Amino acid sequence: MRIYLGFDDTDDHDAPMGTGRLVREFGYKLPDGFSLRGIVRHQLPRLENIPFTSNNSSACAIVDMADAGLLDTLRRLAIEHLEIHCAPGSDPGLCLVQESDVTSDVVAYSQLVTSRKVTQKDAMRTAGDIELYGLGGTNDGIIGALAAVGLTKYGWCGRFIEYGVLRDLPARLRVHDLTDAGISVVSVDRDPLVPQPEDVVIDANWIRPSLWAGQPMLQLRNVQHGVWETAHGKRKKKHGPGMKKEIPATFAGTAQ
């Protein structure tokens, strides 16, 4: 059984970890009987009429359970984790739902949340029988928590911040290293080619695949024949006009 757990509004400006890190720590501590499939970060709008701490992001943990009878345990663990680690003054929300029970109304609601302000009443009305908990402060976190599961079900929004060996991959790798890890690749160049298994991916020290068609998909751009770079990075340094990206000597001329 696959369960989605949406988390939102767990930090403040002085918190040692944001929502994404909090959810990752939750996933790391899951006991036997549970398997963390992945964690998807979702961006919500940064608008003046929407209160948020810094980035206004929520996150969804995708958890597989060996036995449906473990649902009570999973709920308890998630609530306890939030109660312990949420920052003082935050407005945490938690959503817990079986993947197959995320309705089309929840998906439509979540898409709306990415464009404008909605209310707790909107979230509660849309959730229906879906478990949605406000766990402190104003309880505004239920808005983003429900949106996190809806956007994950939608399958075309957000990026994976945890997925299998994602964080253990080397900074210099080949395309097959990604596909072997369950991460598909796609060229987002204007005239795209198809990345080949032995092609090189450089500067891959920050890999966060997008959620495309319900699967992790890493977007790549072509640097030269047989050599690719990730299309999106963490505060990637800009290269001036006419400047060529340096290809590591280890791989230069080796791609087939």
Q: List the domain boundaries for the chain.
A: 2-160, 170-230
- DSSP E strands, 89-187: 93-98, 131-134, 159-162, 173-174, 184-187
Paired strand residues for 60: 6, 40
In this structure, whether the domain defined by 2-160 belongs to CATH 3.30.70.2200 is answered with yes
pLDDT for 205 equals 86
250: left (phi over 0), alpha (psi -120 to 50) or beta: alpha
Give dist(CA 208, CA 2) in Å, integer. 22
pLDDT for 241 equals 42
Residue 201: pLDDT over 60: yes
Report the predicted TM-score, pTM, of the whole model to 2 decimal places. Answer: 0.86
Going by pLDDT thresholds of 50, 70 and 90, the confidence category of residue 239 is very low
pLDDT for 115 equals 87
Strands 227-230 and 200-202: parallel
Q: What is the pLDDT of residues 223-234, one digit of tens each?
A: 999 999 999 987
Give dist(CA 177, CA 220) in Å, integer. 14
Give the residue among 97, 89, 85, 144 at the shortest CA–CA distance from 120.
144
